[in-house]
Structure 1
Amino acid sequence: METLQVGRAKITWLNGGVNFLDGGAMFGVVPKPLWSKKYPVNEKNQIELRTDPLLLQVDGKNFLVDSGIGNNKLTEKQLRNFGVLEQSSVEVSLNQLGLSTKDIDAMLMTHLHFDHACGLTRWEGNRLVPSFENATIYTTEVEWNEMRNPNIRSQNTYWEENWKPVEHLVETFTAEIEIVPGLKMIHTSGHSDGHAILLFEDQEDTFIHMADLMPTHGHQNVLWVLAYDDYPVRSVHKKEEWMKIGYEKNAWYTFYHDAHYRALKFNSSGEVIDKVTRERYSYES
């Protein structure tokens, strides 16, 4: 498992699953001859995407950033349509680190689309229970409200089985919340109305987790947003704002979906000055 130390925070990427989605959908109106130079694509026009939670350890606490695609949460049709090649093994990853699901203090949910939230619940016999029994689940109030009351578009990604078993664990916020000193969740909207990013600052060290505002390294261009975005213009403006902030701080940018890089560090000109490359696993050999 790849790790990154940023100030007093240690980040470890767990195995949350992998799927393949249409590259055109992931890059919106950007022409394929442009985006395919930035991110590999297969003969079916699909790009490989991880759904790997970030284990964030800071000040003696264990946090997970999003929850993975889960296990046995999708139908055969959904597995096929979403190109799911591998489901989650988050618990296995935690065990390899000497941890269990009970050791997770909080889930920092950037948003609650199925590919981020399916791992919040697991099957125990014939009923669904919280996957992380002691964890407070942080999400924006807007996102939580839409999760429980999806519209005709969002009902395809906000599922009752991902929220009902954990509703007693959820704590919402409006504009932002500080989880521990220096670690904030900030509401941006854009990808979803309730979408949030993470900002961690420890003196000169900074990382920004843009979540699905910049799901892969191929989305660095502020104008390159997803066809899945509910508010694409908002995504552009928020990307522009937070890329500028990060460049000025020489911040690390961490990824949940990228199949090639775990994190990239940029200088003030937006050039890569450091990187954490993802290891390749057996199914890809």
Structure 2
Amino acid sequence: MEKLTVGDLTIWWLNGGVTFMDGGAMFGVVPKPLWSKKYPVNDKNQIELRTDPMFLQLNGKNILIEAGIGKGKLTEKQKRNYGVVEETAIEESLRELGLTTADIDIICMTHLHFDHACGLTIWENDQLIPVFPNATIYTSQVEWDEMRNPNIRSRNTYWPENWEPIQHQVKTFENMIMIEDRIKIIHTGGHSDGHSIIQIESNGEKLIHMADLMPTHAHKNPLWVLAYDDYPMTSIFAKEKFISEAINENSWFTFYHDAFYRALKWDKEGNIIAEVKKQ
């Protein structure tokens, strides 16, 4: 289990599952000869994408960022379409840390697409129940509204089974919210209308989690946005702003989807100057 120290905080990556998604969709209008130099692709034109939540402890609270792809939630057809080769093993990851899913106090959700939110609920005795029954789940109000009332495009990723069992646990915010004095969740839009990013600061060190505005290290170029993005120009403007700011502040960039890097730092010339690789 990989970890990163930021100031006096330690971030651990849990095992949230593995998908293989279409590389063309993940890089939008960028030609394959360009993006395939930066991220490996298989003979089905698929790229490996993790769905691994981050865990940290702060002010006596056990906190997750994202929730994994879930376990026992997807049909065989869905597994095939999304290239799911491994489902969530978050319970096992937490056990390594001496914890259970009931010990999680806070979950910070950047957005609620199925590959982030399926891990919030699970089937038990023919009914769906919360995986983390004692957690407060934070997401933007815009995201929560669309999750419950998806449009013709977004209904393919906002599923009732991922929100109905946990709706009593959800707490929303408008533009920004500060969690436990250190974790800032900022609504950006772009990938989805309600998409957010996360910034963490501890003892002068900083971390930024760009979520699906930058799902892998290969998406650093502000113009390299996903075909899945509902509002690509919003994604581009947000990437221009937050990536440059984070590099100037010597921030760590962390990843939920990247199959090769858990976290890294770039200098102003685009060189990787620090890294935590997926083992």
TM-score between both structures, scaled by the size of structure 1: 0.96
The yes-or-no answer on 1:186 pairing with 2:186 is yes
For residues 39 and 268 of structure 1, what CA distance do their matches in structure 2 show? 21
Cα 1:187–1:22 change in 2 (3 A) is same
1:258 Cα deviation after fit? 0.3
Give the aligned residue type for 1:229: D
Q: CA RMSD in A?
A: 0.8
Task: Report SS of the residue matched to 1:10.
Answer: strand
- Structure 2 partner of 1:51: 51
Calculate percent identity across the aligned residue pairs: 63
Give the aligned residue type for 1:125: N
- Structure 2 partner of 1:283: none
The yes-or-no answer on 1:64 pairing with 2:64 is yes
Task: Give 1:170-209 correspondences, 5 Å limit.
Answer: 170-209=170-209
Any stretches of 5+ residues in structure 2 without a counterpart?
Answer: none
Deviations 1:196-246 (A, max 9, x none): 000012242000000000000110111100000000000000001001110
For residues 103 and 2 of structure 2, what CA distance do their matches in structure 1 show? 20
The yes-or-no answer on 1:101 pairing with 2:69 is no
Task: Give 1:246-257 correspondences, 5 Å limit.
Answer: 246-257=246-257
- Structure 1 partner of 2:218: 218
For residues 9 and 167 of structure 2, what CA distance do their matches in structure 1 show? 28
- Structure 2 partner of 1:144: 144
For residues 58 and 264 of structure 1, what CA distance do their matches in structure 2 show? 22
Give the total of aligned pairs: 279
For residues 15 and 112 of structure 1, what CA distance do their matches in structure 2 show? 18
- Structure 2 partner of 1:166: 166
For residues 38 and 139 of structure 1, what CA distance do their matches in structure 2 show? 31
Task: Report SS of the residue matched to 1:240.
Answer: helix
- Structure 2 partner of 1:117: 117
The answer to whether the 8 A contact 1:247-1:269 is kept is no
Give the aligned residue type for 1:264: L
Any stretches of 5+ residues in structure 1 without a counterpart?
Answer: 280-285
For residues 269 and 162 of structure 2, what CA distance do their matches in structure 1 show? 41
Deviations 1:120-158 (A, max 9, x none): 001111111110011000000000000000000000000
The answer to whether the 8 A contact 2:8-2:203 is kept is no
Task: Report SS of the residue matched to 1:84.
Answer: coil
The answer to whether the 8 A contact 1:8-1:58 is kept is no
The answer to whether the 8 A contact 1:249-1:268 is kept is no
For residues 170 and 249 of structure 2, what CA distance do their matches in structure 1 show? 32
Give the aligned residue type for 1:73: K
